[in-house]
């Protein structure tokens, strides 16, 4: 049996947040202070995550991405990824990281067999990096990216959240990276989630404009069916080693092709990034009377999740009420809680 929702979309992609903790405090994700991270017993153990993954695999999930928070801060993450890589049925396992610890773990991850990696990096300027992340070391991130390229990760993707009057002036510099290295630079529109709700109107800039910035330095040639992407339009400059893509959840939503569910670190199965609908799987994993009962109940909840998955996100309704109480409570989890 496969997971197919009411709108004919086959659900085969599970994004797993292994922790809500992070070693950065990016301005659109986490407040600089006052956030209370979940205690160990409040998040899924690796064994519990694996139980959920096995059920997903039985229903046709074959693509998994490990996220956070920052996944590399969780103890024994390397062993967990090693276990996932040995599971039959996963054809695509990838990791999203902020890159701070990547130089330390890149070799081990590659030796295990991991090949796909995304690094979240919004600026190439040291001072601006401190402003955006509130902490961290840009040089360490760049070192990690270079090591990922050196060891042979493919693709190495750079996720850039573009914010008006903050880093939009660096779009061209990021685009130029694709001439030097086989990097896949992805420009992501600023979304009204968590901390982003507060400043969305001031920081949002459409990818239509960002594409125009890129075209000022050369013609962009669209690449059809590149990596079977369902979220972005992908382009390449002539003679470039890498690619450029535009992920536009606001100006050009990709909801009609969405094939994913999200598992939060505390065991909630979220149906959509832009919706507050979720199903508590932790209760099932911890309270079932037997392994078979647990498997059957989890399977049932995956089927329910695919049925309840909304046709599209609710970002547009958030815009119209951006400073109302309703908007503040509609998508009030931080990205580190949902899973980036």
Per-residue pLDDT tens over the stretch 292-313: 999 999 999 999 999 999 998 8
Mean pLDDT of the chain: 90
> pLDDT for 208-244, tens place per residue?
999 999 999 999 999 987 666 667 789 999 999 999 9
Domains present along the chain, CATH in parentheses: 13-338 (3.20.20.70)
The reported pLDDT for the residue numbered 224 is 82
For the cut 70, the answer to whether the pLDDT of residue 197 exceeds it is: no
E strands, the chain, are 13-17, 63-67, 92-97, 116-120, 156-162, 183-189, 220-222, 232-237, 243-247, 260-263, 268-270, 278-280
CB contact at 8 A, 123 and 161: no
DSSP class of residue 38? P
Ramachandran area for residue 290 (φ above 0: left; ψ -120 to 50: alpha; else beta): beta
Residue 320 CA to chain centroid, in angstroms? 25
Q: pTM here?
A: 0.91
Least confident window among 67-71, 204-208, 328-332 = 328-332
Band of residue 34 on the pLDDT scale cut at 50, 70, 90: low
Residue 211 makes CB contacts below 8 A (sequence gap 6+) with 220, 235, 246
The reported pLDDT for the residue numbered 111 is 98
The reported pLDDT for the residue numbered 8 is 96
Give the rounded percent of residues in the chain with a pLDDT score beyond 90: 76
For the cut 50, the answer to whether the pLDDT of residue 323 exceeds it is: no
């Amino acid at each position: 049996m496969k997971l197919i929702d009411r709108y004919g979309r086959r659900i085969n992609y599970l994004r797993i947040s292994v922790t809500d903790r992070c070693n950065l405090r990016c301005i659109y994700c986490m407040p600089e202070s006052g956030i209370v991270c979940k205690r160990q017993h409040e998040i899924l153990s690796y064994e519990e995550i694996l139980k959920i993954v096995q059920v997903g695999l039985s229903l046709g999930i074959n693509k998994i991405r490990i996220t956070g928070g920052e996944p590399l801060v969780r103890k024994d993450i390397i062993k967990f990824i090693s276990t996932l890589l040995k599971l039959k049925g996963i054809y695509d396992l990838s990791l999203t990281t902020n890159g701070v610890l990547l130089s330390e773990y890149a070799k081990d991850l590659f030796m295990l067999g991991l090949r796909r990696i995304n690094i979240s990096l919004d600026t190439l300027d040291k001072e601006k990096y401190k402003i955006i992340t509130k902490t961290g070391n840009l040089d360490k991130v760049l070192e990690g990216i270079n090591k990922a390229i050196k060891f042979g990760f493919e693709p190495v993707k750079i996720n850039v959240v573009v914010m008006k009057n903050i880093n939009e002036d660096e779009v061209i510099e990021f685009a130029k990276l694709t001439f030097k290295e086989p990097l896949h630079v992805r420009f992501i529109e600023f979304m009204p989630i968590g901390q982003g709700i507060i400043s969305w109107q001031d920081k949002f800039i459409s990818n239509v404009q960002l594409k125009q910035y890129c075209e000022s330095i050369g013609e962009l040639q669209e690449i059809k069916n590149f990596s079977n992407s369902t979220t972005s339009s992908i382009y390449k400059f002539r003679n470039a080693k890498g690619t450029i893509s535009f992920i536009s959840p606001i100006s050009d939503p990709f909801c009609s092709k969405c094939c994913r569910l999200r598992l939060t670190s505390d065991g909630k199965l979220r149906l959509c990034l832009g919706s507050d609908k979720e199903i508590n799987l932790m209760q099932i994993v911890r309270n079932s009377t037997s392994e078979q009962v647990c498997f059957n109940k989890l399977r049932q909840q995956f089927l329910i999740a695919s049925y309840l998955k909304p046709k599209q996100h609710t970002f547009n309704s958030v815009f119209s009420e951006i400073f109302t109480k309703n908007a503040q409570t509609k998508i009030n989890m931080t990205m580190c809680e949902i899973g980036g």
